[in-house]
């Protein structure tokens, strides 16, 4: 009688780097013989990949662990593991508060998860492990990716900045850069496996190269990506205005597969607030970067992050933030209400802004962001755009059966008319991973509607998505499973 395969579930909280880490965690668990748990079924191993930056992160973690305690009592043998930034911050306190947890591991220890789970099972004792520095880049680990055609590629980890609201540097350490040859080898392997879009990741992505003394390394990396045959789209996130240089703008404008989208956090439009945040740039520098980007790429979309209610923020400071949103003409903005993060300098600043004031400013700013974004989207009415269909963005609605995807500038586009016989003639239905050129017929604040299809370009990635859908697999479109492993080179390995 064959042994029953154990199952796993990875739950991800926080930023794109956590998403990237979770793909590696899933890849390692599958490499250890586990399989993804069926939807709605309790897994034998549940991994919580946590965030320490988002609001109420602690409450969400311990609330989830409280719920899982009851589930674990009903399923003997279940294991619970906690990793990510909050695990790095709380460390052994997680076991103290939730003794039913089996494994706690830090941000530098994701490669150790299978061994820690096995040790916890064998010894019947909780295991914790926290390294002070990174030993293995996450991208060097095998991955179970959620998309057959789009992939995250970490080019650096950690951060050398000292923003007073952010705890990330203390949890992920100082910046460590991968060698260019290793990055390009991973991308080429991904493209060989069917990937057509990559997003380069770093806590401060455009500071790439600082560790090995090459300030032009990021621009050179973008240009090198442009020489990889079969790689259709390149994105990156997130750059820091302090390190944003003209050679990067030139590389974006002159490399056809680098997309015309820049997500660059501004955080505040007030120089006084930026100074207290220790952001190392001022509003005029930020606006100057955007002006040069738009000069080189007139149709580029600019998106950003903004914190409202930072300690000491006055009405004048907030007005300056509203003003920079109007001047920058952001296509969208992630807006956050400031909340204290233990361990950050700002948590102890005087003049904390009252919660009701923060909430009122947040609502006002959100309304302005929506107004500006809607105006920017209306300018695209009647234009043609090539959209990469993605399952993750979902259908617009069942009645129209619009399919969704991303334009080159990363705007979300819902496309109708894809059932027409002229579109389907001579081939399979379009699927995630295919490209559709369509004309914009309606603009909403945070998405576009394109009900006039101009052309369809099917791809091998779309073939794989369509085949999975025909089989009735759960892994359709963005749910396809692809594992790419480049071994496990150590930090500082030569290109």
| Res. 339 pLDDT band, cuts 50 70 90 | confident
pLDDT at site 469: 72
Q: Is the dihedral of CA 421, 422, 427, 428 positive or negative?
A: negative
Q: What is the mean pLDDT of the chain?
A: 87
Closest CA to 82 of 48, 127, 112: 48
Instruction: Indicate the range of 95-99, 240-244, 254-258, 487-491 predicted with least confidence.
Output: 487-491
Cα 293 to Cα 161: distance, rounded to the nearest angstrom: 24
| Res. 488 pLDDT band, cuts 50 70 90 | very low
Structural domain 384-479, CATH architecture: Beta Barrel (2.40)
| Res. 331 pLDDT band, cuts 50 70 90 | very high
**Element spanning 304, H or E:** strand 301-308
Cα 165 to Cα 92: distance, rounded to the nearest angstrom: 24
Instruction: Indicate the range of 77-91, 103-117, 459-473 predicted with least confidence.
Output: 459-473
Closest CA to 105 of 121, 125, 89, 124: 89
Residue 258 in 3-state DSSP?
strand
Domain with CATH 2.40.50 in the chain: 384-479
Closest CA to 187 of 158, 222, 135: 222
Superfamily of domain 138-378: tm_1862 like domain (3.80.30.20)
The DSSP 8-state label assigned to residue 440 in this structure reads -
pLDDT at site 479: 42
Does residue 41 have a pLDDT over 50?
Answer: yes
| Res. 396 pLDDT band, cuts 50 70 90 | low
- Which has more pLDDT, 373 or 492? 373
Give me the DSSP letters along 42-91: --SEEEEEE-SSSTTHHHHHHHHHHHHHHHHHHSTT-EEEEEEHHHHHHT
Residue 91 backbone class (left: φ over 0; alpha: ψ -120 to 50; beta: rest): left
Domain with CATH 3.40.50.12160 in the chain: 7-129
In the structure encoding, which two tokens stand for residue 46, read together?
């549940």
Residues 341-383 have pLDDT tens digits of: 878 899 999 999 999 999 999 999 999 999 999 999 999 999 9
Residues 443-456 have pLDDT tens digits of: 999 999 999 999 99
CB of 432 closer than 8 Å to CB of 149:
yes
Q: Is the peptide bond before 238 cis (omega within 30 degrees of 0)?
A: yes
Does residue 304 have a pLDDT over 50?
Answer: yes
Residue 9 in 3-state DSSP?
strand
Residues 176-223 have pLDDT tens digits of: 899 999 999 999 999 999 999 999 999 899 999 988 889 999 999 999
For residues 244-255, average pLDDT: 97
CB of 219 closer than 8 Å to CB of 245:
yes
Does residue 398 have a pLDDT over 70?
Answer: no
Classified by CATH at the fold level, domain 7-129 comes out as Rossmann fold (3.40.50)
The model carries a pTM of 0.84
Q: What is the longest distance spanned by two Cα atoms in the chain?
A: 73
Domain with CATH 3.80.30.20 in the chain: 138-378
Does residue 442 have a pLDDT over 90?
Answer: yes
């Amino acid at each position: 009688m064959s042994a029953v395969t154990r199952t796993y579930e990875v739950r991800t909280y926080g930023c794109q780097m956590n998403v990237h880490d979770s793909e590696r965690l899933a890849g390692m668990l599958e490499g250890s013989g586990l399989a993804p748990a069926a939807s709605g079924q309790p897994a034998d191993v549940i991994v919580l990949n946590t965030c320490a930056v988002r609001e109420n992160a602690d409450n969400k973690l311990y609330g989830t662990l409280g719920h899982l305690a009851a589930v674990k009592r009903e399923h003997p043998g279940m294991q619970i593991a906690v990793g990510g930034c909050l695990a790095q911050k709380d460390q052994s306190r997680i076991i103290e508060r939730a003794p039913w947890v089996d494994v706690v591991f830090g941000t530098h220890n994701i490669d150790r998860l299978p061994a820690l789970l096995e040790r916890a099972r064998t010894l019947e004792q909780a295991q914790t492990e926290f390294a002070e520095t990174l030993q293995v880049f996450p991208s060097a680990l095998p991955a179970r990716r959620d998309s057959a055609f789009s992939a995250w590629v970490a080019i650096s980890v950690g951060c050398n900045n000292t923003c007073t609201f952010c705890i990330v540097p203390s949890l992920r350490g100082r910046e460590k850069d991968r060698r260019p040859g290793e990055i390009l080898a991973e991308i080429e392997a991904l493209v060989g496996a069917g990937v057509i879009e990559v997003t380069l990741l770093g806590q401060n992505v455009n500071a790439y190269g600082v560790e090995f003394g090459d300030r032009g390394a990021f621009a050179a990396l973008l240009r090198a990506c442009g020489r990889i045959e079969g790689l259709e789209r390149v994105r990156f996130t997130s750059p820091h205005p302090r390190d944003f240089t003209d050679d990067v703008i030139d590389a974006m404008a002159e490399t056809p597969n680098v997309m015309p989208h820049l997500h660059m956090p501004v955080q505040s439009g007030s120089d006084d607030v930026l100074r207290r945040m220790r952001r190392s740039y001022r509003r005029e520098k930020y606006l100057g970067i955007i002006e040069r980007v738009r000069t080189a790429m007139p149709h580029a979309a600019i998106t950003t992050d903004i914190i409202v209610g930072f300690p000491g923020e006055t009405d004048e400071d907030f007005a300056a933030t509203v003003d920079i949103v109007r001047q920058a003409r952001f296509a969208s903005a992630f807006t956050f209400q400031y909340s204290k993060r233990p361990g950050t300098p700002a948590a102890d600043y005087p003049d904390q802004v009252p919660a009701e004031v923060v909430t009122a400013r947040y609502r006002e700013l959100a309304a302005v962001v929506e107004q500006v974004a809607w105006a920017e989207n209306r300018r695209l009415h009647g234009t043609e755009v090539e959209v990469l269909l993605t399952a993750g963005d979902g259908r617009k609605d069942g009645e129209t059966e619009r399919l969704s995807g991303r334009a080159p500038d990363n705007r979300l586009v819902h496309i109708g008319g894809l059932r027409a016989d002229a579109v389907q003639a001579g081939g399979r239905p379009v699927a995630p991973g295919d490209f559709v050129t369509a004309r914009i017929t309606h603009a909403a604040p945070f998405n576009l509607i394109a009900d006039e299809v101009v052309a369809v370009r099917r791809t091998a990635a779309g073939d794989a998505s369509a085949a999975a859908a025909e089989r009735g697999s759960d892994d359709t479109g963005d749910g396809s499973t692809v594992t790419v492993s480049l071994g496990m080179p150590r930090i500082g390995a030569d290109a």
